[in-house]
Amino acid sequence: MSGTGQTPLKIEVEAGIAILTLCRPEKLNALNTALIDELAVALRVIERDASVRVVIVTGDGSKAFCAGGDINDWSAHSPVDFGRRWLRDGHQVFDALARLRQPVIAVLNGHALGGGLELAACADIRIAETHIKIGLPETGLGVIPGWSGTQRATRRFGGQIVRRIVLFGEMLDAEAALALGAVDYLTPSGEGLQKAKELAARVLHRAPVATELCKMLINAAEGEDRERAIEAMAGMAAASTDDLREGVAAYREKRKADFRGL
C-alpha cells in the first residue's frame, strides 16, 4: 500500500509497520470528509493484513499532528447531516482505529487539537515532540468534542485532565501533557517518528497472537469494544477444539456429530 501526492492520506507499509500520515499540511492536517473516508478504507485493509504488526499515525510537517475537524467542511453541514454523516462517520473511523488488533502509536509531531487529540486518544501509545500543544477547544466555537473527546479521552487520560481542557479551554504543552499522563513519551522536535519506530521494533519481537489478545483484554477492561473482544476470544478458543472439527465434518458428511469435549 502506498499513498500519492493527490491523496490526503499517505500509507507506507514496511517490515511489519504501517505508517499513516495525514497529508493536509496547508490546513494543519485538519480532518475533512475525504480524509475520514480514506482513513476508513485504510484501517479496514490494515486490520486484515496479517503482515502488519504495528501501526504508527502521524501528520505531515511540524506545525500540526492534526488541528481537528476542518471547520469549512463540518460547518457546511445541516444539523441533521452534521450528526448523521460528520459525527457518525468520524466515530466509526475513530472506533476502528482504537480497536485495531495491532498496537497503535501516535506521533504528535505538531499540535493535536480537537479532533486531532481525539484521534491521538485512539492510540495505545502517544509520543509528543517538545514543541507541541494539545487541547480540546470546541466549546469556544459553540460545539462539543464529538469524536469521543468526553468519553474515550476521559477513559484514557483521566476525567480531571479532560475537564481542564474541555470546560476551561486549557492548552497543555508537551511537558504538562507528559506529567499528567496524556502522552507517554517526550522527544526533541523531529525525533518522534524515530522513537515510534524503536517502540514498534519491540512489538515485532513479541508473540503476535499473545500481543493481539492482550490488546483486546486491555481495551475490554477500559470498556472499549468489550462485547466483541469477549466473543472474539471465545470464538478463537472454540475454533481450536476437536469438537469444532468434528462438528464441521459431521455437517459435511450429513451425519450426527460425535462430540467428545476436546
Instruction: Encode pLDDT of 185-196 as tens digits.
Output: 999 999 999 999
Of 118, 129, 212, 224, which one is the catalytic site residue?
Answer: 118
Active site includes 170? no
Domain ranges of the chain: 9-204, 208-253
Instruction: Encode pLDDT of 70-85 as tens digits.
Output: 878 777 777 777 777 7
Distance, C-alpha 69 to centroid of its chain = 16
Asked whether residue 225 carries a pLDDT value surpassing 50, the answer given is yes
Quote the percentage of the chain above a pLDDT of 90.
79
With H, G, I as helix, E, B as strand and everything else as coil, classify residue 246: helix
CATH top-level class of 9-204: alpha beta
Of 12, 47, 129, 138, which one is the catalytic site residue?
Answer: 138
List own/partner pairs for 163-171 with CB under 8 A and 24 or more apart: 165/117, 165/134, 165/135, 165/136, 166/136, 166/138, 166/139, 167/139, 169/135, 169/137, 169/139, 169/140, 170/135, 171/133, 171/134, 171/135, 171/137
Quote the percentage of the chain above a pLDDT of 70.
97
Active site includes 14? no
With H, G, I as helix, E, B as strand and everything else as coil, classify residue 6: coil
